[in-house]
Amino acid sequence: MGVLTRCVLAFAAGVACVAPAAQASPIPDSARLISAQPGPGRVVELTVYSAAMGKSVTVAVLPAADRAVAAPVLYLLNGVDGGAGPSAGWRDGGNWLTRTDAEEFFADKQVTVVMPIGGAGSYYADWQADDPVLGRQRWTTFLTRELPGVVDTEFRGTGVNAVAGVSMAGTAAFQLALAAPKLYRAAGSYSGCVSTSGPQGHMMVNTVVAGQKGDPVNLWGRPGDPRWAAHDPFVHADRLRGLALYVSSGNGMAGGLDTVDGPGVDGDSMKLVDQLVIGGILDAVTAMCTQQLAGRLRELDIPVTVDLRPNGTHSWGYWRNDLRRSWPLFATALRVR
């Protein structure tokens, strides 16, 4: 465990921490840990400088149950807004820590859970051009080449990793697995349209990026540009062989969690209308994408766990359940007992 994180955890426990003598600063163009601060509960909040993007990124971490023992890492990615709220932080945003019981669920598990904050509308990709609104997007480089070293150093990583995400990040999880085939043992998509170059995938990407006021042309070029297919896990499904794979989606029809007192609705009837209408449309589309991907993987004789719920919308209550159902697969891949 790194010095900064050890001191943060010691501080949280009321124990003094004496850091060793200062060492030479890292070269300015390298990714590095800037700070580690205790957050609420078990959360440790990192600030990590990304050389690829030329900025600092907030990363919320749930340390493994036994912090003194090396542990694998599960990267949990957020949806369209990157998990950030009005303050640009995670505490007032919609993400795994604020919309699910992930902190409680992982409290007794020997796995480090890492949740980057930011990347709204980015698909966590390396964009071909800087965007006038969204700026420089080099999330694939950050997540596969910069952040893992920091996490493994600070939290005694074993080098065994998995990645999963919701909606936009469900697509990204599979794209990251293609970009760094030796980094992950498992990948999961919850209500994601993993294909990017097919009709549904193209529509989803354009809608998500434009919804954050970005220009999809700056991502992979204009429609028909070969970069769209080059980043499509459906097209390159054969390269997913050997990974433990999990995909899930509702069908857009109202389910048991789509009620005025359901998770995330909290008595707000307008939120429920949005969940039923917008969330219904989105999961109707992701259901088609999920069925197509599952069929393609089976054609290739690549094992995949598919959870197509008989109902349900594009919302956190269902993703909480998806995470729990997928955990046994991830635990086996990560060698978590």
Q: What is the pLDDT of residues 168-219, one digit of tens each?
A: 999 999 999 999 989 999 999 999 999 998 888 888 999 999 999 999 999 9
Q: What is the mean pLDDT of residues 138-164?
A: 97
pLDDT in tens, 4-37: 454 444 434 433 333 332 233 333 457 899 999 9
Q: What is the mean pLDDT of residues 283-302?
A: 96
What confidence category does residue 2 fall into, taking pLDDT thresholds of 50, 70 and 90?
low
* Residues 177 and 217 sit within 8 Å (Cβ to Cβ): no
Is residue 58 over pLDDT 50? yes
* Residues 274 and 267 sit within 8 Å (Cβ to Cβ): no
Euclidean distance between CA atoms 149 and 154, whole angstroms: 9
Which carries the bigger pLDDT value, residue 23 or residue 121?
121
Q: Which CATH superfamily is domain 3-334 in?
A: Alpha/Beta hydrolase fold, catalytic domain (3.40.50.1820)
- Give residue limits of the domains in the chain: 3-334
Euclidean distance between CA atoms 131 and 216, whole angstroms: 9
Return the pLDDT at 29. Answer: 59
- What number of other Cβ atoms are within 10 A of residue 156's Cβ? 19
Task: Please write down the HEC assignment for all residues of 115-142.
Answer: EECCCCCCCCCECCCCECCCECCEHHHH
Return the pLDDT at 205. Answer: 94
Is residue 337 over pLDDT 50? yes
Return the pLDDT at 19. Answer: 34
Q: Among residues of the chain, what percentage have pLDDT more than 90?
A: 81
- Range in 57-71, 78-92, 134-148, 162-176 the model is least confident about: 78-92
Give backbone dihedrals phi and psi of 238, rounded to 5 degrees, phi first: -60, -25
Euclidean distance between CA atoms 80 and 85, whole angstroms: 12
- Range in 181-195, 234-248, 270-284 the model is least confident about: 270-284
- CA nearest to 334, candidates 113, 62, 144: 113
Return the pLDDT at 1. Answer: 53
Euclidean distance between CA atoms 231 and 73, whole angstroms: 24
Is residue 3 over pLDDT 80? no
* Residues 57 and 116 sit within 8 Å (Cβ to Cβ): yes
Is residue 327 over pLDDT 50? yes
How high is the mean pLDDT of the chain?
Answer: 90
pTM for this model (two decimals): 0.91
Return the pLDDT at 266. Answer: 80
Is residue 297 over pLDDT 70? yes
Q: What is the mean pLDDT of residues 284-308?
A: 96
Return the pLDDT at 17. Answer: 38
